[in-house]
Amino acid sequence: MTPAPERRLSLRGAKLRALISDAIGEPASDLESDGDQCFDGTRLWVLADEDDPGSALGGAVFRSIRFGEAPMTVCFDDGEAAAEAARRAEALLPAPDVRQVDGRRLVEVVPAEAPTVVDPPGVLVGFEDLCRSVGVEPVVEHGIWRGEVAGLEVVRVVDDPELGNHVQVGVGRFDREAGKLLHADQPQSESLAAAADLVRAHRRPGTGAHPLSTLCRERWLRRDLCADPSPVGLVDLEPVDPADQRANLRDPAPAPALGTDSDGRRVLVVCSVGVDPQVVSATAALVLRESPDRVVVALPDRDVLGPVKQALARLRVPVVVVGTACGWEEV
């Protein structure tokens, strides 16, 4: 049986205090503890959540703000997550210390190798024409061709072991699978047009909290800025692969793009919504991959908050946080 969240957090805090006590030789009772983070008077220690280790590095940077210039150690149970966090930490100044839990010891971590950058696959014949005929934007990301309406996927090319590459219409995996059964006899252009019209009706100002309006708003913001990059002071802007493949459409995931300013400098733009700890870790990974001259993090005006600016200021390249009007906001 899984412990209740409060009990689980308490157990994780006790585990972290024991690890720190063994590492620095101080009694666990002398440590200032707050759930799965501890401050020993000079250093902040954070234990990554086993269920969501990818958020640990960014979350730790946000937590460190209240401790000023104190150094930080982020501890992971998962070795692969620790190695990836150690790699991304290299894009931060000062770089957080990353350790892996090995029994009662905290051991050093070798940063992961940079992911191999591969050329995107060729587009399936007819896919771009199918998308553009009904006002859907074709996008290739992490090797998968998709079609989007205001940043929300409505169609993709699926590689099936039996059917080969083929087109599936729908918002998300379950919708695509249901559509494959319900609209098997309908021309793809008709089913895609219907899906696009449904999404388009909700991806406009003032549509409220309907799921088709609230999903993937980071990508909606990116799409609007790529169409008109002037709000972030650029002359051109094109989407690039996110740092991580998103697991679903519900969870926030920073949406990046690359552009050029009027001085010809290479600028990384990362679109985010709300206070998302992953924006720090994702932007760090993108800095290492894209080597920009500077970074712009674009947020809705209401989400430009002091802690967000302070956390992103840890990046080793110049960064500015820009608030902008968004396509879902009523004028």
Cβ-proximal residues to 23 (8 Å cutoff; 6+ apart), any chain: 105, 106
Taking 60 as the threshold, does the pLDDT of residue 265 lie above it? yes
pLDDT for position 146: 95
> Do 43 and 17 meet the contact criterion of CB atoms below 8 Å apart?
no
Extract the tokens encoding 83: 């190695």
Q: Three-state DSSP class for 12?
A: helix
How large is the average pLDDT for residues 186-201? 92
Cβ-proximal residues to 309 (8 Å cutoff; 6+ apart), any chain: 321
Taking 90 as the threshold, does the pLDDT of residue 299 lie above it? yes
- Percent share of the chain, pLDDT over 70: 95
Strands (E), 49-190: 72-76, 97-102, 105-108, 137-141, 144-149, 152-160, 164-169
11 compared with 232, residue with greater pLDDT: 232
Taking 80 as the threshold, does the pLDDT of residue 179 lie above it? no
Between the CA of residue 218 and those of 250, 297, 301, what are the distances in Å?
11, 11, 13
Sketch the domain layout of the chain as residue ranges.
5-108, 127-202, 216-324
How large is the average pLDDT for residues 16-23? 90
Taking 80 as the threshold, does the pLDDT of residue 331 lie above it? no
Taking 60 as the threshold, does the pLDDT of residue 68 lie above it? yes
Between the CA of residue 198 and those of 153, 156, 211, 304, what are the distances in Å?
12, 17, 12, 31
Q: Is 208 left (phi over 0), alpha (psi -120 to 50) or beta?
A: left
Per-range mean pLDDT, top range of 54-58, 143-147, 282-286, 325-329: 282-286
pLDDT confidence tier of residue 297, bands split at 50, 70 and 90? very high
pLDDT for position 105: 94
How large is the average pLDDT for residues 309-317? 97
Residue 288 sits at the vertex; the CA angle it makes with 284 and 292, to the nearest 5 degrees, is 95
Question: pTM for the full model?
Answer: 0.92
pLDDT for position 185: 66
The DSSP bridge partners found for residue 47 are 75
Taking 90 as the threshold, does the pLDDT of residue 145 lie above it? yes
pLDDT for position 199: 95
pLDDT confidence tier of residue 31, bands split at 50, 70 and 90? confident
pLDDT for position 268: 99
In 3D space, the residue among 311, 306, 315, 324 whose CA is nearest the CA of residue 277 turns out to be 311
Q: Dihedral angle at the C-alpha atoms of 254, 260, 264, 268, nearest 10 degrees?
A: 10
Distance CA 273, CA 255 (A): 10
Taking 80 as the threshold, does the pLDDT of residue 180 lie above it? no
> Do 323 and 299 meet the contact criterion of CB atoms below 8 Å apart?
yes
